[in-house]
Amino acid sequence: MLKAAIKNFSYTKYLKENLPNYDFADINTLPSKCLIRFTDKTFALSKWVSPKRTRSYPYSRVYDTFSQSASKTIAIIPLIKDEGINGDMDYLQWDSVSLMSLLNVYVIIGFYDKAESHPHKSDKIANQKFNNAYITEQLNKLSNYHQSALHWNLNQLESKNLSHLVQLAKTAYKNIATSLQCKLHDSKNIDSFAKKILQNKESFMNFSRQKAQMAQNRESLTTQPKEHIGIGQKAKIMIENYLGGQYFFTIDDVFLRDNTLYLCESKHSKNALLPSADDIKDGLLKLMLYNNIDSLQGYEKFKPVLRLTSSILQDSIRLPSDKIESFLQNNAFTKIQNKILQDLNLESKTNNFEIWINYEL
């Protein structure tokens, strides 16, 4: 496993999206990313549909909330998500919150208290809704909070606060099971989760990292359909930051060339000239971390790369490049794709990393 350390964090965004504005009333009526007006404050907000960070592009949504005209950047993350005995059951991971602290994103940990029966599968639920009163209460506290996201997030993870949330989530799922007459996972699973996360900080961290490493081990054995691997090999990396947070990732492509270790986050499209905007932003959030690596054990020189490949694009380029305009003119990109590529050219140049589009050394 590669071991890396981050001391400081800085990043400049150019790939920006104008988020819609809403007056806050109900968290469940809002889109997954937006600006909200709450009392006299404006917050940039993203919602995670699961505490599992590999579902539904939460990184992409967090990326979109950066550099917005807001007093704070907030992520709403459920503590637990039970989809029923015939579905998954996911739990909050310590490193997800720690990562948000590193990015100065304030986390509100919520719980679901409403759901609907799955339309096609028995003993499975869908369309889960956050308890809005709890989210509103936390937003009220946050609107008058003047310390860093790190302090806020650590307070969210205090045993007293987590214990209260666990009981609220457990009771809510019991009520959902009764009202929908469906079978959820055994509540002992929540008790076991509570025991591990409430014991102490180290227990919560270890529990989360065991889950993350298990997922990482599964991922490292597979090639995802959106990845086009072929210039190196997958590698596990553990990144430790100055907050004590440890982040376990699987890097899609790692290879050594001219005494430089290349760390490639790879995104692939079979039917489009470029991977989707969500895929690209998901990759960029990881590049934010890789690009801020201060030291990589065993390697003096290393370079992070976002590698974008396509089955139908015949051309190639390595960004940043002063030939971006001719590259755009020579290919039938959409207007949106043209703008994305121009923004990526600036983003890679300003932050000193590379983006390879169908390019191989």
Question: What is the tens place of the pLDDT at every residue in 210-253?
Answer: 666 665 565 545 444 444 445 678 888 888 887 777 777 788 89
Share the mean pLDDT of the chain.
89
Q: Token pair of 202, please?
A: 């180290």
**354-357/112-117 β-pairing:** unpaired
The predicted pLDDT at position 196 comes to 77
Residue type, 348: S
How far is residue 23's CA from residue 301's CA, in Å, rounded to a whole number?
48
Give the residue with greater pLDDT, 301 vs 92. 301
Q: Are 177 and 115 in contact (CB under 8 A)?
A: no
How far is residue 35's CA from residue 313's CA, in Å, rounded to a whole number?
36
Under the banding of pLDDT at 50, 70 and 90, the label for residue 202 is low
Question: What is the tens place of the pLDDT at every residue in 260-316?
Answer: 999 999 999 999 999 999 999 999 998 988 999 999 999 999 999 999 999 999 999
Under the banding of pLDDT at 50, 70 and 90, the label for residue 8 is confident
The predicted pLDDT at position 223 comes to 45
Question: What is the tens place of the pLDDT at every residue in 32-43?
Answer: 999 999 999 999
